Amino acid sequence: MEELTAAEVDRRTDALLAEAEAYFMGEGGVHNAAAAIARRLADAGTDYAIAGAIALGEHGFKRLTVDVEVLVRREGLDRFKAEWLGRGYVDVRPGGKAVRNTINDVKIDFLITGDFPGDGKPKPVAFPDPLEAALAGEKYRIVSLHRLVEMKLASGMTAPHRLQDLADVLGVIRAADLPRDFGARLDPYVRDKFEELWLAARHPEEDY
């Protein structure tokens, strides 16, 4: 691997910082890609809800992300791909669920109603119907907080490579100051893990 020059390192660092600053201001490529996919789904009459880190931000916990997650039904994904592939979007993998917005160079991950979070194996928590799980955000429809927490808990509990999902729940518990009884709204499958993370969130964050 060719070693980068100091000037190249500085250039890349400046670009990353600029993109991060734009993201936290609700601007930049990721937010532009989210707004575009939401608009195109809505114009087609397709029920959808933005999930992932963007939805977390709407619920009070902001963290940087490089992609967009969208909850849709299977037929909604099929309709979108039939209309838009080759017109600003390409498959990440032929026949897969993810596409790439070529204008903003941002990956769009589709979460399909009825599929299962995390390891993909059957479990009591599945990705919900977007019509039932969505609420209106400032720019587009987003997954409601209790559905988002359920999805992330089920994912992090069953997939060792998805520990960020558990960290996200810990983060939103702190940021939104979720009450302990918020867990009563969740599917019983994930309640114990929510309780564990809620108790963990009571410990003060320390600077080392």
Tens digits of residue pLDDT in 168-193: 999 999 999 999 999 999 999 999 99
Segment (H or E) for 98: strand 98-101
pLDDT of residue 158: 98
Q: Where are the domains of the chain?
A: 6-144
Give 153's Cβ-side CA count (13 Å radius).
26
Tens digits of residue pLDDT in 104-128: 999 999 999 999 999 999 999 999 9
Question: Rounded mean pLDDT of 45-73?
Answer: 95
* Residue that is written with structure tokens 């996200």 in the block: 168
Give the bridge partners for 90, in sequence order. 100
* pTM for the full predicted model: 0.88
- The domain made up of 6-144 has a fold known as Beta Polymerase; domain 2 (3.30.460)
End-to-end Cα spacing for the chain: 34
Tens digits of residue pLDDT in 153-167: 999 999 999 999 999
pLDDT of residue 169: 98
What does the radius of gyration of the chain's CA atoms come to, in whole angstroms?
A: 18
